[in-house]
Amino acid sequence: MSKTYYSTNNKSERVDFQTALMNGLASQYGLYMIDQADIPRLPPEVISTMADMSYAQIAFAVLNPFLAGQIAADELKPLLEDAYDEAVIPTTIQHVTGKTHIMWLTSGPTYSFKDYAARFFGRALNHFLKQNNQRRVVAVATSGDTGGAVADALHGLERVDNLVFFPIDGITERQRRQMTTLGGNVHAFAVNGDFDVCQALAKRLLGDKSFAVQRFGDAAHFTSANSISLGRLLPQAVYPFYAYSRVAKNDEPLIASIPSGNFGDMMGTVVAKAMGLPIALIICGVNENKEFPTFLRTEKFDVQPSVSSPSSAMIVSNPSNFARLVDFYGGHVYDARDAKGRVIREGIMDVFPDIGAMRRDIFSVSVSNADHYRAMRDVYERFQIVIEPHGAVGWRALDAYLEGRHDRPAVIYETADPGKFPDDVQQAIGVMPAVPAGIARQVDLSERIYRIDRPAEIGPGGSLTLSDAQYTEALDAICGIYD
């Protein structure tokens, strides 16, 4: 029997995986989630055999229980073998010191961990679109790496168009070019604002059924590949199983240290733990956007204006997947909206989660901007390993928790190739990292950029919010693409 998924804002909505993937955003601007009791559990004997499996085989073991009845096993296996072809997207585990390792999720087509979920998402979406003879427009907001990964995964698919919204001054040139040089069915928008504005734009577009009907004759024409998509969340439960299969000895539980922005990786690891993976602790390292560690400490969630950081993909003050996390622990948090779908108040918690259980499972710490550079320099000088700003957050958060004693099995998720952040790496260690080959090829390619130049509004706490003028400008640009 197929698993069912509900909206975090409307638990009466129950849909199967295909519907959730196609819809992107759940009803009432919620995110699709699964009841804890329905999360499939993998027996220890299955987990123990993963040491001899490839990444694609582990992905099948993890994902098939969620997708049974939606994608037949004999179709899912080749889909995953294609998505996680080790010649295209190799995954490596590197020993650092003591029992601490780095999992390099950085060798895919766009040199980011986002490739893993994006490649599954694209192939699963294409599978259903072909099966149903349909088309979709995938709208995605990016703080850096998501856009490039999704754009690469969807580029050239005949039944999909991709709209990518990125903050005009919030990503590196190399990240931008991974979206703007593809052309074809990939359309990149530079937005006057931060990631939260881009995310609000994508969410409002997904919820604007009247525009979808008016322009495309289909209320469900837009879907999402952001972390809000169930098709992005589920494959992120595979990483920790892979890490455990390569690192764990004598059945010791694993510590997973995860640099976190929109909380997709972290939430995927929460799901993996619920599936039976022996995880001792999930460490959620954030940058100076520290709403979550503050919440764990004070039990108050207060969204503040986003703070610039070297870990640019994590400049997120109101993580989308926080709604899933709170739901998992029995609570409810949402953003209040007006009749037009505009966010008028963020992070309202009307049902409090089991904070005790959350604290037992998750440790969270904020890493200062200056400490990003100290961490990169520390790892380079002590171990001759080059990490980038996001991995630096993972390192520093783990080191802080262990107080320098790396005597427990632990894996840091390294989420981007250091060559994507050359200036930050050089500033930290005095060495310019090598430019990944695929990025080097894009340097001289022409770019196609659509601009959303109208200003964002200033929210009650000083944070930026999407303005009506920006949304209208975006709709005009989208109409222009299809005229």
CA distance 478 to 483: 9
DSSP state of 112: B
Place of tokens 């640099």: 259
Which residues pair with residue 457 across a beta bridge? Answer: 465
| H runs (alpha helix) in 192-337 | 195-207, 209-216, 230-233, 238-247, 264-274, 291-298, 322-328
- Looking at this protein, which amino acid is placed at residue 131? Q
Write down the pLDDT at residue 25: 84
Q: What is the pLDDT along the chain (483 residues), one digit of tens a residue?
A: 689 999 999 999 999 999 999 888 899 989 999 999 999 999 999 999 999 999 999 999 999 999 999 999 999 999 999 999 999 999 999 999 999 999 999 999 999 999 999 999 999 998 999 999 999 999 989 877 788 889 999 998 888 999 999 999 888 888 899 999 999 999 999 999 998 899 899 989 988 999 999 999 999 899 888 777 899 999 999 999 999 999 988 789 999 999 999 899 999 999 999 999 999 999 999 999 999 999 999 999 999 988 999 998 898 999 999 999 999 999 999 999 888 777 888 899 999 999 999 999 999 999 999 999 999 999 999 999 999 999 999 999 999 999 989 999 999 999 999 998 999 999 999 999 999 988 888 888 999 999 999 999 987 778 888 999 999 999 999 999 988
Would you tell me how many other CB atoms lie within 10 Å of the CB of residue 329? 19
| H runs (alpha helix) in 208-276 | 209-216, 230-233, 238-247, 264-274
Which residues pair with residue 410 across a beta bridge? Answer: 100, 255
Taking each helix axis from N to C terminus, what angle separates 369-383 and 389-402, rounded to the nearest 10 degrees?
80
Burial 208-228 (b: 16+ CB within 10 A, else e): beebbeebbeeebbbbbbbbb
**Cβ contact 372:294 at 8 Å:** no
Q: Which residues does 271 contact at the CB level (< 8 Å), separation at least 6?
A: 39, 233, 234, 236, 237
Give Cα 394 distance to the centre of its chain: 15
Helix (H) or strand (E) segment spanning residue 149: helix 145-154
CA distance 121 to 123: 6
Give Cα 123 distance to the centre of its chain: 17
Which of 227, 233, 228, 366 lies closest to 304, judged by CA?
A: 366
Helix (H) or strand (E) segment spanning residue 258: strand 254-259
CA distance 164 to 142: 7
CA distance 91 to 104: 6
Which of 110, 61, 409 lies closest to 235, judged by CA?
A: 61
Order of all β-strands in the sheet with 136-141: 222-224, 136-141, 160-167, 186-191, 449-452
Is 465 in a helix, a strand, or coil? strand
- Looking at this protein, which amino acid is placed at residue 18? Q
Helix (H) or strand (E) segment spanning residue 116: helix 114-132
Would you tell me how many other CB atoms lie within 10 Å of the CB of residue 152? 24
CA distance 255 to 101: 10
CATH of domain 92-483: 3.40.50.1100
